[in-house]
Amino acid sequence: MNSGFNLNDVKVKNRALILRLVATKYPVSRVELARKTGLTKTTSSKIVADLINEGFICERQAPMPKFSGAGRKPIVLDIADNAPSVCGMLVKRGFCIVIQSDLKGNIMAESRFDYSSISAEKLVSNLIQHYRKLQAASCSKMIAVGIASLGPVDIVAQTIANPPNFYGIENLPLSQLIHEQTGLPCYLMNDAKAGALAEKIYGNGRDMENFLYLHIEGGIGSGYVLHNQVFHGDLGQSGELGHTSIDFWGKKCTCGNVGCLELYSNIDMMNRKMRSFSKENEPHCDYLWEDILNMADNGSTVAIAALDEFCQYLSYGLVNAVTLMDIHHVIVGYECRTDSHTLERLLSQKLNDRLAAAGRGKIHVKRSFFGSSAPLMGSAAAVIDKLFNGELMVQI
Ligand SMILES: [Zn+2]
């Protein structure tokens, strides 16, 4: 295998690094850029000039208060207004969201469609239609498409493999089909790992070298970031935490395994727990996830008991996941309307209670910067990451 670097590779990597720093470390001056990259001022200035000419970046007066003091405010670099942007497509069971994102991780526009059944052809044509709608309404040209999809996804073949209950859609080469109709570079990855990527580039994982992103939405997905990179595994199917067994003699799961975590940490089990507190013949309606979280955050002992049991099961899977990789940070994304962090508190307590005896360091559990939307931001991040590491070279 050829793993050497020629001069052009180095130029591409340096250009990508400068674009990444300007997009994620605002405000950054030319001097800071040279210092952070270790490049000479001449090399750094040449790349900056190219990126300005191509409309990616611009010079601005520094904002306050970083450069406070008398005199003129220094000039810093920023992503230009109307700079090239990217398209992100989130594909889920029942709905899709198409977004336009700038390179700083801001969603500029979004468009959603829902369905109760859909064919592969209709799925693709709807995604294209929503992409075109966003592009027509924008002054910024979208230069690449990232797709975050429900799993399993094969990142080598760039296909959505065979998700259960996905209307019979299997082995769909979505990346290729979107590329054929847009003419743009396109990259597909699993939604939970896309969430991990969004946290790493723009979210709460920016300063963490290693962490596990945990996504709770119907099922339980996760994505490892190891040494600052999302770990995909051979096919992009790492981190299937919901389908790791926590009960050797448990029920059979649709994935073929037995006693999978998702069979125990789920909304039906939470409602069952809440019903167990009801008196006989007392009416009980099933609650949604957000309702139970809300009630728990507002001190409902019944809801706290249900969430506590959910976290108890989840901790069995998580202890294995963090122990195997020596991870000390867990970022958790889920739908919630309050800031009480009951779930993080319960989960942290259960993880640390069990791991302390083994002399392991403390595990820190933190809510996602994006709430429940890390995979949505991750759809754009899937391809922005390629731009920022030099794998995708786009010149205007
Ligand atoms: Zn399973």
Kindly indicate whether the domain formed by 7-79 is annotated with CATH number 1.10.10.10. yes
Q: How far is the CA of 324 from the centre of ligand 1 (A)?
A: 20
Q: How far is the CA of 116 from the centre of ligand 1 (A)?
A: 23
Q: How far is the CA of 194 from the centre of ligand 1 (A)?
A: 21
Q: How far is the CA of 214 from the centre of ligand 1 (A)?
A: 16
Q: How far is the CA of 300 from the centre of ligand 1 (A)?
A: 31
Asked whether this chain's domains 7-79 and 207-368 adopt the same fold, the reply is no
Dmax (CA) for the chain in angstroms is 79
pLDDT at 363: 94
Q: How far is the CA of 356 from the centre of ligand 1 (A)?
A: 29
- Name the residue ranges covered by the structural domains of the chain: 7-79, 85-197+375-388, 207-368
Residue spans of beta strands (DSSP E) within the chain: 57-61, 75-79, 85-92, 95-101, 107-114, 142-149, 153-154, 159-160, 186-190, 211-217, 219-226, 229-230, 329-333, 364-367
Q: Which CATH class is domain 85-197+375-388?
A: alpha beta
pLDDT at 131: 98
pLDDT at 4: 65
110 Cβ contact partners less than 8 Å away, ≥ 6 residues apart: 97, 98, 99, 100, 134, 376
pLDDT at 395: 56
Distance from C-alpha of 158 to C-alpha of 175, rounded to nearest angstrom = 6
Q: How far is the CA of 219 from the centre of ligand 1 (A)?
A: 10
Q: How far is the CA of 252 from the centre of ligand 1 (A)?
A: 8
Q: How far is the CA of 335 from the centre of ligand 1 (A)?
A: 23
pLDDT at 66: 55
Beta bridge partners of 297: none
Q: How far is the CA of 286 from the centre of ligand 1 (A)?
A: 24
- Tens-of-pLDDT digits for all 396 residues of the chain? 456 667 677 888 999 999 999 999 988 988 899 899 998 888 999 999 999 999 999 999 887 665 555 566 788 999 999 999 999 999 999 999 999 999 999 999 999 999 999 999 999 999 999 999 999 999 999 999 999 999 899 999 999 999 988 999 999 999 999 999 999 999 999 999 999 999 999 999 999 999 999 999 988 999 999 999 999 998 888 888 999 999 999 999 988 899 999 999 999 999 999 999 887 777 778 999 999 999 999 999 999 999 999 999 999 999 999 999 999 999 999 998 888 899 999 999 999 998 887 777 899 999 999 999 999 999 999 999 999 998 887 655
* CATH code of the region 207-368: 3.30.420.40
Q: How far is the CA of 73 from the centre of ligand 1 (A)?
A: 57
Distance from C-alpha of 348 to C-alpha of 353, rounded to nearest angstrom = 8
Q: How far is the CA of 181 from the centre of ligand 1 (A)?
A: 35
pLDDT at 5: 63
Q: How far is the CA of 100 from the centre of ligand 1 (A)?
A: 34
Chain CA centroid to CA 390, Å: 20
Distance from C-alpha of 43 to C-alpha of 315, rounded to nearest angstrom = 50
